[in-house]
């Protein structure tokens, strides 16, 4: 019998992407609610308790309410909100984070899908912190620029709706340094000190460039750009969706295009350096709607269904 998958919030930016990926798949039965029932607590509770796996594409408060509505123990959940990303009772849905993570996700009943920005930051930092090349108390600053779809329906409407001509070309936000992704980055990167996280979005629909600058003088002896790159390459050697650019390729790059991997679920990591000044730059490029959201959710779903 085919497993039933229910998407709660299938008309939002992430939900629509997941819906389009799952529609027509012969190995699952997709459960959706008609327009008049999508926001009705009774019908949503009926749907979530009548499925095998529920994917929550909801604001945080609504996601918590949806989880609270589950009464059938066999229901498994993938939460694409940020409500449970640092909850010890939930499995973090980043399969490539460490060797055993895919197996943990496959066996889990509660999986929290990573945030788009944290996906890039954690992918870069966690292997380096775990190896001791970047100290766990290192002063980290993460800067990231996303396409406007990262703001959800509001961002898409602002840049594609009637007032699109007045939409800003570039905005830096989170100036209070309290963005909700920051604790997630700290927890899953293995940092003991809160990083500074500075997000931004530009006038393009999707894609992310995320960078982390490091001063070599503050790193342990021998923590060169080459060693950091080798560490990342070793960690992701068996990961089909994560690539680490070799030095010969990164040394020829003069810019990073946030849209380079749009339409894919791939995550590209790179290490750049100025040896003379002893400075290193870590970078990640990926689609915020691919590996940063819907692609990650479907990857986790397939693990939970034994499709990988």
Q: Please give the helix or strand (H or E) that residue 64 lies within, else none.
A: helix 60-68
Q: How far is CA 130 from CA 177, 204, 252, in A?
A: 25, 35, 29
Q: Please give the helix or strand (H or E) that residue 143 lies within, else none.
A: strand 141-147
Q: Is 249 left (phi over 0), alpha (psi -120 to 50) or beta?
A: alpha
Q: How far is CA 91 from CA 94, 130, 299, 301, in A?
A: 9, 19, 14, 13
Q: How far is CA 25 from CA 22, 47, 87, 218, in A?
A: 6, 19, 31, 50
- Smallest CA-to-CA distance from 238 within 78, 125, 91, 101 is with 101
Per annotation, catalytic residue among 51, 57, 116, 231 = 116
Could you tell me which residues are beta bridge partners of residue 197? 142
Signed CA dihedral, 158, 164, 166, 167: sign only: positive
Does the annotation mark 116 as catalytic? Answer: yes
CB of 269 closer than 8 Å to CB of 236: yes
Residues marked active site are found at: 116
């Amino acid at each position: 019998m085919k497993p039933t998958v229910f998407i709660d919030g299938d008309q939002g930016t992430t939900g629509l992407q997941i819906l389009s990926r799952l529609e027509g798949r012969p190995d699952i039965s997709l459960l959706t609610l008609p327009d008049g029932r999508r926001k009705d607590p009774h019908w949503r509770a009926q749907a979530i308790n009548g499925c095998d796996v529920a994917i929550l594409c909801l604001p945080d408060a609504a996601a918590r309410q949806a989880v609270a509505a589950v009464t059938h123990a066999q229901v498994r959940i993938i939460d694409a909100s940020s409500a449970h990303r640092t909850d010890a009772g939930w499995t973090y849905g980043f399969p490539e984070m460490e060797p055993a993570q895919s197996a943990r996700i496959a066996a889990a009943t509660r999986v929290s899908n990573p945030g788009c920005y944290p996906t890039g930051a954690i992918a870069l930092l966690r292997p380096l912190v775990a190896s001791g090349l970047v100290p766990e108390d290192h002063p980290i600053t993460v800067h990231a620029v996303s396409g406007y779809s990262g703001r959800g329906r509001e961002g898409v409407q602002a840049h594609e709706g009637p007032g699109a001509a007045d939409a800003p070309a570039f905005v830096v936000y989170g100036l209070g340094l309290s963005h909700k992704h920051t604790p997630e980055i700290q927890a899953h990167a293995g940092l003991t000190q809160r990083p500074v996280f500075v997000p931004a979005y530009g006038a393009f629909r999707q894609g992310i460039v995320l960078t982390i600058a490091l001063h070599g003088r503050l790193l342990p002896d021998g923590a060169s750009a080459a060693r950091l790159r080798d560490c990342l390459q070793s960690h992701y050697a068996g990961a089909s969706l994560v690539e680490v650019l070799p030095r010969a390729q990164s040394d020829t790059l003069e810019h990073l295009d946030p849209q380079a991997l749009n339409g894919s679920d791939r995550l590209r990591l790179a290490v750049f350096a100025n040896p003379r000044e002893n400075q290193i730059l870590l970078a990640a490029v990926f689609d915020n709607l691919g590996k940063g959201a819907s692609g990650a959710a479907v990857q986790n779903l397939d693990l939970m269904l034994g499709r990988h």
